[in-house]
Structure 1
Amino acid sequence: MDKNRLSTRETEIARAYADGQSYKGIADALGLAPSTVRTHLSAIYKKLEISSKLELFKVLDGVPTLSQQETDQAAIISELALNLEESLSREKALAEVLGIISRSEGRIDEVIEALLGYALELCDAEFGLLLTYNRDAGFAARFMKGIPQAFQDWWEARGSYKPSPQTAIGRLEDSLDVVNIPDVRAEPVFRNNDPLRHATASLGGARSFTAIPMLAGKRLIGAFTIYRQQLRPFDERTVQLARCFADQSAIAIENARLVSALRSKNN
């Protein structure tokens, strides 16, 4: 299939993706949203009538590939191919995270840094927080990734914070369940100038985010939150992926606590 059917922008994206770059890496380099990169890739697969990254690489290098007989069939196959490649990326990332946890020996910073990085990339999110929880003191932003400086300063100035029950974190604390916010500015808690929601929207520039409880058994130990700065709600598949990262974060934190306790006992 002729690669000249692609536009200049599509060619840039196709080459970067074939060379192994992620959606987020391509998006950052070209000033796009990761979801826009995926839309372009879907169009590229359909135009070239291909069904894998390997075929894309071959087409860009001028190697002939087998074309599909029907346009509709090509469209279905290209969508399935992208979904499969995304699933393989998630599986690979989670396997790498498990490896990091197993080798960490209680070094929690290394683990959480990796977890937040993978979560932002695979969930097409701009920034994320890992909040630790204390029943009396509330939530503290222990780990941050990609967060705007003004929002980071807001959390650091407070140390620990007890949110109102109307906020996402407050609802999570009460329900011990995922809270998915399609639009942070659409809820009454924003219009009522709640401090946390105002900081999230105005200082963080967030529009959509999801908050996932981190549990040790039935005990809340924190929350894992990821944010998009565009009005682009997280779908159920992405929420489940974020939940997986939250679960791994909880395991890492509990492992670090046990390792620390064991070291203290042996000293």
Structure 2
Amino acid sequence: MKISVLVLLLLAGLRGCFAQTSAPDTAATGPDAPTALAAYSAPAYRAALHRFEARRLRLAGRYRRAATPAARAARIAEARQLLLTALDSTIFPAWEGTPWAFYGTTWEPRRGSIACGYFVTTTLHDAGLRLQRTVLAKQTSETIIKNLTSEAHITRYRGVTQADFVEKVRALGPGLYVLGLDFHVAFLRVREGGAVQMVHSSYVGPGTVVREAAESSDALASKYRVLGKVSADNVFVRRWLLGEALAVHGATVKE
């Protein structure tokens, strides 16, 4: 009887800690290889975010002054690279090692705990995207993705093996993706050269935020996967660049 109650409690917690989809070993090398945990300082992290924010604002001014479509496209390309640099060099490393928990909602890396949906929304918030962090984090992973990018940048996979899925992602090309699984949400970062890295608040393994090779991630197992290539979406990048607020559509859980 005690075991049954414990199982029921754990299952009840899944909805709050995992962002579900709305439908039902090779080590990385180079820049994708797992590394020793980087040193973290809260003041240094905030200072770095302020520096990136200043660069974003300067670039936004240049975008607004751009006189031709080609000039605006060039500024969007710069913005895309700046966003990826902020995540890769500062934000993801700072959050690595932060404990995962069913209901983790911390705002600060390595202090408290963070659930998978909150990890996605909080890191994007730290990068400068204006979004409703709490409301979006509570949605199914497919709803999160559909609020970040359009159908033109979303692909869905059902009944595909993990190895085949990683190959399909690799074929989509380098960039930043948000990935929805049956009971999880994560980032996939595809590098030049084809390495596919999963960045997420992991409920398996160490039970922390990790950056790991997607091929060998136990958390990537899922019957259904939905993938949004947010870095390829110029509308998403422009919203980030100009500081436009992101509304939440199709929310089933309120703040």
TM-score (norm 2): 0.28
More helix by share: 1
Larger radius of gyration: 1
